Amino acid sequence: MRFRGTTIRRKIVALLLIPLVSLTAVWAYAATVTGQEVWQLVQAERAITLVGHPVEDSIHAIQQERRAALLFLSDPSRSDARTNLHQLQKITDKDLKQLRTNASSSDNRSTMTDDSLRRLDLLLAEFDGLDALRRTVDDDGISRSVAYDSYNSMVDPGYDFLDSLNRLDDSQIDKQSRALIAVSRGREAISREDSLMTGAIVSGHMSDSEMLSFTFAVAEQRAYYQDSLKLVTPDERALYDAFWVSDDGRALRSAENDLIASGATGSPRVADGAHWQTTVTGGLNDLLQLDNKAADLHDKQDRSYDIRVLSTAGAVGGLGLLAVIATLVISVRIGRSLIRDLSRLRTEAQEVSGTRLPRVMRRLAAGEEVDVETEAPRLDYSGDEVGQVGQALNTLQRAAVEAAVRQARMRRGVSEVFVNLARRSQVLLHRQLTLLDDMERRTEEPQELADLFRLDHMTTRMRRHAEGLVILSGAVPSRQWRNPVQLMDVVRAAVAEVEDYERVEVRRLARVAVAGPAVADVTHLVAELIENATVFSPPHTMVQVHGETVANGFALEIDDRGLGLTPDAMLEANLRLAETPEFELSDTDRLGLFVVSRLAQRQGVRVSLKPSPYGGTTAVVLIPSNLLTDGADDSSGPRTGEFELDGLVEDPPGSEHSFRQWGLAPGHGEEPREHRPFPAEPVTAAAAAADAPDALPRRRRAPELVADNGRQVTGQQRTPSSTGGLPRRVRQASLAPQLRADTPTGETARPGAPTGAVPMRERSPDEVRARMASLQRGWERGRTTGDGDTDDAHQAELGESASRTTTEGNGP
């Protein structure tokens, strides 16, 4: 076939060559595999002939020498015992010499696997200690039991080596080979029985250890025959079954049973020694012949397998070569026709797939307008099959471009609708918050103020949900900060936007600040996670928020005590948090995860979920170091050490004043102006007293003292005055006269204040609203308290709570 050098021709030729090359590779692989099988068979036969048979001869010689050694040790005075031992040692040395010669040959070693070589080296190492053992036996310096174990340690590695030689790809044949080796081990167990009993008969006694070894050898022999004969061929099994049902086999079993029944205390001389020798010697010879016959039958089966492997290799090689030649001819004919007809179609297809469609997708992703007629022009093709393929390609191109344009317009429209609705809602909610703020300032009725406070809190949550829509649409929320804000204040602000804020326990955090541009996103992110923790945990449990500084930033953990997530659900949630997938309108029950994922991606924050130690779920928020600073003012933050409060802190952390100190109130870097109370922080002494269920002391968090608006901490305890049996605190009643502030102009003294106390100024609605949260909790707890509590008990409890020392730390 001539090549004209065109690119399309070379690619078509390469395309047609792929199946040809693949078929050639498959044929070569099959031929290689079958060739390796043939080579493996040849190597296995060579290894068995040159190394396996010498090992079998050596094992048989060691068995004879072991018996003679135990006979000699039983009665060293017998001259024929020493002579017989030396003759058998010469036979063993001859067999071992032949084994070492064959095993040291590099050609023979190359026929074995690494495992077989390792076991062969272990066997030869055991045989190296044979000379030392013989000298000890000749000097009568070893007991029969020790000599018995020493010879056994040389025989066992030999069978392990033989077991490693029979490794064929045919699992059935390989299994049968291993079974035959196990059967030969049964004959080795009978040889051990003979060695032990020969020594015992000559010496006239058998020790407990020898009797135990004899019993173990009998059990081992019977287990080998019982288990291994199930795996051999029926012909091989028939040989051994015939022996064990014969007179010799039954006599051997009967002799073994009699000796085991007599035990070590019985005298071996009582047994007929000649009968034992005749029975065992005849049985061993018969079993040796059976092993050889079974090996011959197995060799015939191996030869059948060899013929089958060779036939398969020939068929694979010949038929595969014919298939390769036929594929080559067909490929050449098809290639010559396709090269001529598909040149134009190939060019147009490359233009569509490589240039037009990618360009359209990039422009749509960038928000540009795309004209379908310009980007997907109609092309003219002939009416044959190739032309029909071209028309189909043209239609597919236009359909793809039109679908992409429609999808982009729909997504853009949906995003604009979300942003528009969210912006409108934010404007209305901001106006509503302003109106609520004015109403709170004008309202003096406690119940109405509490209702306004709850409405204010719900409005704040609605504003956060509106911000979520803006975030899901890809826009940036309008709330922004210019200056850094303390992380503790950011977390408190997030808690203030949660429905069940009273269940959230914020532990003391490190004095680090969040950069101003990231405050809104971090606050929203933490609020979503805290709300998720409160929603999916029992209403009577607490949600803990704590964290610490780590190497790469600050790790904030949110623990709940809910039912937790299944491993699959947790894995899916972590994937959503890490990958920030495309938002799907159908997946509306996972809006919080999408919002958190978008915010985390925007700020570089890593969020992950893991099982909580309380049985629920722990959300870990890793704020990177580039979002953290140390420059935010934290005059209202928690102070370390121990304090004793002499009275109620004037403005709790949830008041507007404290929010201004945190940098989260209007006029402190927030755009647009936001006014949010924070009722969830139960850190004041009054709140601690109202929440105490009994008069027992409880450890509370250290009060957060506001420098500008709070009370100075002293070591004195206010003596509560009671009107109508209720505890009442008097401002500045416990201060020294020189420390008491003058009454501002226009303020009147509090009714019931003691003489000398400075009259209190009129409280602003913000302060009243902050106090109402604590007062309402006290009312609710008071309704659940039994009538048996006396006023004195209440006063004592409140007085004790007010004077108790609180320590800054984790946990209430």
Q: pLDDT tens for residues 150-192?
A: 999 999 999 888 888 766 667 777 788 888 888 888 889 999 9
Please state, in angstroms and rounded to a whole number, the distance separating the CA atoms of residues 206 and 197: 8
Do residues 666 and 625 share a domain?
no
Do residues 38 and 163 share a domain?
yes
Query: What SS3 class is residue 118?
Result: helix
Do residues 598 and 674 share a domain?
no
Residue at 359 is within a domain: no
Q: Are 181 and 162 in contact (CB under 8 A)?
A: yes
- Asked which of 276, 299, 316 is the last residue of a domain, the reply is 316
Q: What are phi and psi of 674, to 5 degrees?
A: -125, 135
Please state, in angstroms and rounded to a whole number, the distance separating the CA atoms of residues 710 and 651: 6
Domains in the chain, number: 3
Do residues 589 and 717 share a domain?
no
Residue at 777 is within a domain: yes
List the one residue out of 246, 345, 236, 247 whose CA is nearest residue 292.
236
Residue 321 CB neighbour total at 10 angstroms: 13
Q: Is the peptide bond before 567 cis (omega within 30 degrees of 0)?
A: no
pLDDT at 599: 86
Residue at 215 is within a domain: yes
Would you state the structure tokens that stand for residue 339, as one six-digit string? 């090269």
Do residues 169 and 310 share a domain?
yes
Residue at 370 is within a domain: no
pLDDT at 209: 86
Please state, in angstroms and rounded to a whole number, the distance separating the CA atoms of residues 438 and 443: 9
Do residues 625 and 720 share a domain?
no
Q: Which residues on neighbouring strands pair with residue 547, listed in sequence order?
A: 556
| Residue in the structure block whose two tokens are 């709300």 | 531
pLDDT at 97: 92
Please state, in angstroms and rounded to a whole number, the distance separating the CA atoms of residues 27 and 163: 34
Do residues 48 and 69 share a domain?
yes
Do residues 808 and 703 share a domain?
yes
pLDDT at 643: 36
Residue at 411 is within a domain: no
pLDDT at 478: 65
Residue at 329 is within a domain: no
- Domain extent, residue 490, equals 479-634
Show Cβ contacts of residue 370 under 8 Å, excluding neighbours closer than 6 positions.
360, 363, 364, 401, 404, 405
Torsion of CA 248, 253, 258, 260, to 10 degrees: 140
Do residues 286 and 162 share a domain?
yes
Low-confidence ranges of the chain (pLDDT < 50): 1, 3, 270-271, 634-729, 733-760, 785-812
Can you list the alpha helix ranges (DSSP code H) found in 204-272? 208-228, 234-244, 247-262
pLDDT at 122: 92
pLDDT at 555: 95
Residue at 438 is within a domain: no
Do residues 586 and 730 share a domain?
no
Do residues 598 and 669 share a domain?
no
CA-CA distances (angstroms) from residue 627 to 485, 611, 630? 11, 27, 10
- Asked which of 604, 634, 664 is the last residue of a domain, the reply is 634
- Asked which of 300, 316, 332 is the last residue of a domain, the reply is 316
- The domain that contains 535 carries what CATH number? 3.30.565.10
In the 8-state DSSP scheme, what is residue 702? P
Residue at 381 is within a domain: no
Do residues 51 and 106 share a domain?
yes
